[in-house]
Amino acid sequence: MNNERYRKILESAIEVERENEHGWRLDQVGATGGHISKLKAEGLVKTVIERSSKSNWYKLTDREEVEKALEEIEEEMKAGGVIEHDWDIEPPSFDSVVGLDDMKFILRKALTADDRVNVLLAGPPSLGKSVLLMEIEQAIPNAEFGYGSEDSAAGLIDMLFDKQPQVLLIDELDEMDSDDYSVIEQLGEHGRVTERKYGKTREIELDTRIFAACNDLEVIPSPVKSRFQTMTIEPYSESEFLEVVTKVLNDKEDCSEQVAAEIADRVYHEYDSDDIRDAIRVSRMVDAPEEVEGVITALQNHS
């Protein structure tokens, strides 16, 4: 039973049973009916009081055997066994991004597929690629976000060993150097990451899925690109930009709809930018609606 969610359920069940020999309910161990069905099928759990699906009481069939099995799994993981995550998740709706329905559909399917699917979003800046990644980060508790222009190979490896993320999100994938790409290539191909340092080797195997974004697809090495399903985004029209920015600022930056719409309009027409990040930065410098014009003017004067 290597799946992380099931391990946690069994560990919680052990703790509850130590305090209450009569058993436990689903909510006490963080389980769903589906989880219990699988555990019962494997002979690890039994029903002791049957009422309704949420108020049934359950017990481990043999607590000592389950404890031994969990200890063995822990040792296997330390020795380099596969770290598996629970993919029974609720994917994000991606409501902050207007349009791109086909892309949202693929991202949701990749997040819930039975086997690993990595996705690379490619296209010019300011098209919502980063926002899509941010939505995934907010929806997946065990997700890690990084930037290709900032992350080093050593930093990536340390993070993968320490955090064992379910999802790795990388913006600016095209800004990575060759050592960084080697880590992504390893992880994207078979989930295995190896580091040889000072004559010592450490290795971990993860089922981590990678979702990345880039502006320039051509600079990414072909072996790295081959590890991804690549999807290209076309530039926004003016109306699409104004709609997207207004929604992002309203939903994510706590701007009123009126202020968000004004920032979007002024950034596009006066600051002459179609970069969503510029609008986000402006929104963070504006404390009141009447300040929007002043912030935009100051930026224009020194851009």
Residue type present at position 248 = V
pTM: 0.60
Among the ranges given (28-37, 58-67, 164-173), the one the predictor scored with the smallest mean pLDDT? 28-37
Helix (H, G, I), strand (E, B) or coil at 115: coil
Map residue 48 onto helix, strand or coil.
strand
Q: Which pLDDT score, from 0 to 100, does residue 74 have? A: 63
Whole-number Å distance between alpha carbons of 161 and 193? 9
Does pLDDT of 1 surpass 60?
Answer: no
Residue predicted with more confidence, 264 or 252 = 264
Total residue length of the chain: 303
Confidence band for 214, pLDDT divided at 50, 70 and 90: very high
Residue 104 pLDDT: 93
Give the range with max mean pLDDT: 74-83, 163-172, 174-183, 185-194: 163-172
Q: Is the pLDDT of residue 2 over 50?
A: no
9, HSE (Cβ side, Cα atoms, 13 Å): 28
Between CA 61 and CA 72 the distance in angstroms is: 18
Q: What percent of the chain has pLDDT over 70?
A: 90
E strands present in the chain: 45-49, 57-60, 82-83, 119-122, 143-147, 167-171, 192-197, 200-206, 209-214, 229-232
Torsion of CA 52, 54, 60, 66, to 10 degrees: 150
